[in-house]
Structure 1
Amino acid sequence: MFDIDLSYLKINQNRIALLQEMGIMTIEDLIRFYPSRYDVILSVPPILVDEKTIFEGVIIEEPKIFFIRRNMSRMTFKVQYQDTSYSIAIFNRHFLRTHLTLGTVVTIIGKLQSPNQVVASDIKLQSLESLKGFHPIYNLKSGITVKSMSGYIKKGLTFVEKDLIDFIPEDLIQRYQLPYLKEALWQIHFPKDEVHLKQALKYLKYEEFLKFQMTLLFIKRNTHTIDVGINKTFDTPALHQYIYDLPFELTKDQISVSKEILQDIQSPHIMDRLIQGDVGSGKTVVASIAIYANHLAGYQSALMAPTEILASQHYRTLQKLFANTSMRFALLTGSLPAKEKKALYRQIENYEVDVVVGTHALIQDALQFKRLG
């Protein structure tokens, strides 16, 4: 949309370098860099131990800075709030020191660790009254403050707002009572109130899912018009026997989903399916039917899980399900010793393994399957 260099916003080159390290390369990246959360300041809350507290105080002791290690600093100073003085500690905000002079009014956001000690998560150089509202918090690199980030984003939005075009069609905006993109972007970064913030989130979430859905539709249409899959033939009676020998009867849904998957396996088109079901609903059994059909067609299979614990569980489950077959299984995870991993790679490449269960270690360049189906 706006592949425009950040230099057009007249941002310091050193700051641009920091933004680029955060993956912000263009003005579009900048205005689409959303807050991770918000500090909500509505009124003066009571000061409570171990609970979030926000209060206004006057600095009565100049800050001292201690560098714990190269990339971590601790700054301490004292403020007066009503009739009590509080010791304030804050980490990695040493660049604020020049602003924290004696007599300065600041707003402290943090937690009370003891009756007179506060560990601050943020320090605002303004009075509490002027801060009431929603304040965006961004995941930033050291050297860029929330205030400066908000300033950069405001510059970016001002620069492009006249050229913002809604991706969501007008009829859908009207049907679902969504704001327009311009308003959504301003309100996600500078919300007037909770109502405007929720409307902005509603638009941006809808936009994201609409783009995702259209991308999937595009991929599906392209893959179903080009014969890029492998149309496999397998021994249907042998597969039926495997299903018959299962220690339980398949549900109506499991049978229906399995039939659709088996049709895809026999088709020359790439299969793209998402099986949705609660824990214990039998998704792994459906996967095992696809794996066995693939095996009967003369191909290897891979089953990937997000963690080593889940991969180990699936490995054991499949071994039980195929206990009466001659299928050969292997478990491949990142923690496998290098020597064992190398030996396993050779077995997989030589088709000495029919099914490999593992984590993302399955998609490393070093791993080559002999005949992955």
Structure 2
Amino acid sequence: MSRSEALTTLKGVGPEMAKKLEAMGLERIEDVLEHVPFRYENYNSGTVTTAIHGDLVKWSGTVQAEPLVRYYSKGKNRLQFRLLLEERYVVHVTMFNRAFYKDKLTLGATVTVKGKWDMNRMTISATDLEFGELSDGLQPIYSLRSGLTQKNFSRIVKLAFEQTTSFEDRLPESIRQRYRLWDRETMLTGMHFPDSVETYKQARRSYVYEECLLYQLKLQAFRKMERSGKGRALMLDKQQLNEFVKQLAFPLTGAQTRVIREIVLDLEKPERMNRLLQGDVGSGKTVVAAIALYATVSAGYQGALMVPTEILAEQHLASLQALFEPYGIRVGLLTSSVKGKARNELLQAIKVGDVDIIVGTHALIQGPVEFSRLHLAITDEQHRFGVEQRKMLRDKAELADVLYMTATPIPRTLAISAFGEMDVSTIDEMPAGRKPIETYWAKTDQIDRVHAMVDRELTLGRQAYVIAPLIEESDTLEVESATALYEVLRERFPNYAVGLMHGKLSSTEKDDVMKAFASNTLQILVSTTVVEVGVNVPNASLIIIHDAERFGLAQLHQLRGRVGRGADQSYCILVGDPKSDVGKLRLKTMTETNDGFVLAEKDLELRGAGDFFGTAQSGLPSFRVADPVLDLKVMEVAMQDAVRLLGSEAFWSEATYAPLRQYLKRLDLLVGVRLE
């Protein structure tokens, strides 16, 4: 039977079961074979005499007496029976809501029970029961939807293996031999039915490399396609560019100079730029973007800067206008708030080239926005835009170079997998003279001292952020809401204006609140993490983060970056009583360093790759088995192999590589990579 056959061709998989499997994205036999266990349980628990009190055990024995069933409230029941183990030990087994087993548990029947061992009472609190002898080895545990049991799905997996006559190997024999990898059938068998830990490790090793290679082939093919796409080389006046840099109000750091050189080289190449610029909060990414925009406009083309919020767009507009006005460079602002006649006039000016640089929100990629000669498109805080939005910006200018910027430092361990198709530039140096933000950890019973610090800063004419994680009360998470904090602070600081901002406000309402805070109409801003995006309020010198242990380090660092933007010494107070060691370590680490790259690596270590960005649009790949952090070395090898394969004649001509070529063809990534 073919792997591409529908699951309903398997014995015992009827329409109802097929519907449940389809809800998990499993429609063909091949889908089931690829749905490997997410963990394993090892029930080789030894003997009754070697098991420790509280162990999770799985033992086989024979039923010694007729089972008893007791019913109690609302149809619930308790099943009890005696089991003879090792032909000498009688133990008592208890199961809840399993009365349907009563008639099958006949005297002398052989059964296997799984549960918790109580050594003192010689009892097992069982959670599962199987008829027959214990199967040794690792027991696979699958990720399943409701309505499916581990037992049912394991049966379907076995049927899928029994009825599959051929397993097509994606990897050629030469690669498998080089790295001592298993063929596809052996690998999948080892993942689903490992007879030992060593078998599982080798199967996983083979699976991880295959996943990493396929992913890197996709990334490198996309990268090659992007670069082979029609581009435009700019003729830049280096002397003019150097003069512009010299007149800046402050000297560039070595890291900024290095990054600008990388971007300028891209602008001068005929291939399209696809570059990620990452730098810590306050490292000077905006200045780098401004220099890139100046170079573009000086060469006779337009530039666009897309940001996530209107207030951020307005701040960029003001700073760029002040910087470019002496050079006659025209900067426009396009957001959803620009309406009617003003909008039509701006769209016309963009279309005919009367605007050189356009700053805007997602409005830049919506509707009838036509550019005259757009060459450089910059996206700020790129992880906050969906992949489709970024693609739409690129599509607005077919020949455009694209620069993505982020203030969330990407750990090296993730950059290779999350942004492997991009070139990455890193600003890893802070401007001289910046005062490091002083960070302290306060327990909740020290809140009076925290409020005294707010008093001190407000008395000096400064402002404060107060951050709460959620906007509604939650008994489960025990997190104070922003609304409750707002009321407390209004009462505590009656002589100051307190504002409230959270995710349920409209974009206009959020902008109004932020404008009031930026103009010092509000002295205290209570907010959820919607304030995380880089708004610039130089007069804000204090940020207090409640229940700080519930945030990741990367997010705490972003929030801390809302202060420290002016000449005054700034402070960050982390309020929390973490119960776990991880929570305590997180807050302690924040007080010890201001380095976003150090914190990003630590955050990844504490939270794992899946939680680092915290959004499905982060661009972080989803793997069945591979882990971008644990399997970094494999990912690096796979990247090198993918580049080598795509550049070799054999890959495009020899039959042994046909499955890999077919994989790229399904992704529409052969066009522009290699014309066949």
TM-score normalised by the shorter chain: which range applies? 0.5 to 0.7
User: How far does residue 214 in structure 1 lie from its aligned partner after superposition?
Assistant: 0.3
Partners of 1:58 and 1:3 lie apart in 2 by 43
Task: Report the equivalent of 2:5.
Answer: 4
**Residues 213-256 of structure 1: CA distance to partner in whole angstroms, max 9, x if unpaired?**
1001111011112247998x99766767889668xx657xx875
Residues 241 and 217 of structure 1, relative CA distance in 2, 3 Å threshold: farther
Greater shift after overlay, 109-118 or 213-222?
109-118
Partners of 2:172 and 2:53 lie apart in 1 by 50
- 1:225 aligned to 228, 246, 250, which one? 228
Q: How does 1:217-296 map to 2 (within 5 A)?
A: 217-227=220-230, 259-260=261-262, 263-264=265-266, 269-272=272-275, 284-285=279-280, 288-295=283-290
Q: 1:62, 1:101 within 8 Å by CA — same for their partners in 2? A: no
User: How far does residue 304 in structure 1 lie from its aligned partner after superposition?
Assistant: 6.0
Segments of 5+ residues of structure 1 without an aligned counterpart are 276-282, 315-319, 325-330, 365-373
Partners of 2:101 and 2:432 lie apart in 1 by 64
**Residues 320-372 of structure 1: CA distance to partner in whole angstroms, max 9, x if unpaired?**
97999xxxxxx9x9963322545347999xxx9995789778969xxxxxxxx
**Residues 31-79 of structure 1: CA distance to partner in whole angstroms, max 9, x if unpaired?**
101012223244624332233223334444245677989xxx8764333
2:223 counterpart of 1:145: no
- 1:303 aligned to 381, 387, 392, which one? 381
- 2:140 aligned to 129, 133, 136, which one? 136
User: How far does residue 180 in structure 1 lie from its aligned partner after superposition?
Assistant: 0.8
The one-letter code sitting in structure 2 at the alignment partner of 1:148 is N
User: How far does residue 110 in structure 1 lie from its aligned partner after superposition?
Assistant: 2.5
**TM-score scaled to structure 1, two decimals?**
0.66
Task: Report the equivalent of 1:115.
Answer: 120
Q: 1:79, 1:88 within 8 Å by CA — same for their partners in 2? A: no
Partners of 1:189 and 1:63 lie apart in 2 by 36
Q: How does 1:14-33 map to 2 (within 5 A)?
A: 14-33=16-35
User: How far does residue 156 in structure 1 lie from its aligned partner after superposition?
Assistant: 1.8
The one-letter code sitting in structure 1 at the alignment partner of 2:6 is D
Q: 2:279, 2:408 within 8 Å by CA — same for their partners in 1? A: no
2:185 counterpart of 1:182: yes
The one-letter code sitting in structure 2 at the alignment partner of 1:28 is E
Task: Report the equivalent of 2:197.
Answer: 194
Q: 1:334, 1:361 within 8 Å by CA — same for their partners in 2? A: no
Tell me the SS of whatever aligns to 1:151: helix
The one-letter code sitting in structure 2 at the alignment partner of 1:285 is D
Task: Report the equivalent of 2:53.
Answer: 49
Residues 107 and 159 of structure 1, relative CA distance in 2, 3 Å threshold: closer
Q: 2:266, 2:273 within 8 Å by CA — same for their partners in 1? A: yes
Residues 338 and 123 of structure 1, relative CA distance in 2, 3 Å threshold: same
Residues 322 and 127 of structure 1, relative CA distance in 2, 3 Å threshold: same
Aligned residue pair count: 326
Tell me the SS of whatever aligns to 2:114: strand
Partners of 1:305 and 1:213 lie apart in 2 by 20
Partners of 1:14 and 1:236 lie apart in 2 by 70
**TM-score scaled to structure 2, two decimals?**
0.40
- 1:156 aligned to 135, 138, 160, which one? 160
**Residues 158-183 of structure 1: CA distance to partner in whole angstroms, max 9, x if unpaired?**
33332x22111111111111121111
Residues 292 and 119 of structure 1, relative CA distance in 2, 3 Å threshold: farther
Bigger radius of gyration: 2
- 1:339 aligned to 476, 493, 505, which one? 505
Greater shift after overlay, 257-266 or 111-120?
257-266
Task: Report the equivalent of 1:104.
Answer: 109
Residues 261 and 9 of structure 1, relative CA distance in 2, 3 Å threshold: farther
- 1:88 aligned to 82, 94, 99, which one? 94
Q: 2:69, 2:77 within 8 Å by CA — same for their partners in 1? A: no
The one-letter code sitting in structure 1 at the alignment partner of 2:42 is V
Q: 1:39, 1:135 within 8 Å by CA — same for their partners in 2? A: yes
The one-letter code sitting in structure 1 at the alignment partner of 2:381 is L
Residues 185 and 312 of structure 1, relative CA distance in 2, 3 Å threshold: closer
User: How far does residue 289 in structure 1 lie from its aligned partner after superposition?
Assistant: 4.1
Q: 1:54, 1:110 within 8 Å by CA — same for their partners in 2? A: yes
User: How far does residue 291 in structure 1 lie from its aligned partner after superposition?
Assistant: 3.9
- CA RMSD across the alignment: 4.9
The one-letter code sitting in structure 2 at the alignment partner of 1:213 is Q
The one-letter code sitting in structure 1 at the alignment partner of 2:120 is P
The one-letter code sitting in structure 2 at the alignment partner of 1:212 is Y
The one-letter code sitting in structure 2 at the alignment partner of 1:190 is F
Q: 2:136, 2:195 within 8 Å by CA — same for their partners in 1? A: no
The one-letter code sitting in structure 1 at the alignment partner of 2:109 is T
The one-letter code sitting in structure 2 at the alignment partner of 1:111 is K
Partners of 2:77 and 2:382 lie apart in 1 by 44
Q: 1:262, 1:293 within 8 Å by CA — same for their partners in 2? A: no
The one-letter code sitting in structure 1 at the alignment partner of 2:133 is S
Task: Report the equivalent of 2:320.
Answer: none
2:210 counterpart of 1:207: yes
User: How far does residue 295 in structure 1 lie from its aligned partner after superposition?
Assistant: 4.5
Partners of 2:617 and 2:220 lie apart in 1 by 25
Task: Report the equivalent of 2:333.
Answer: none
Partners of 2:62 and 2:617 lie apart in 1 by 57
Partners of 1:241 and 1:221 lie apart in 2 by 38
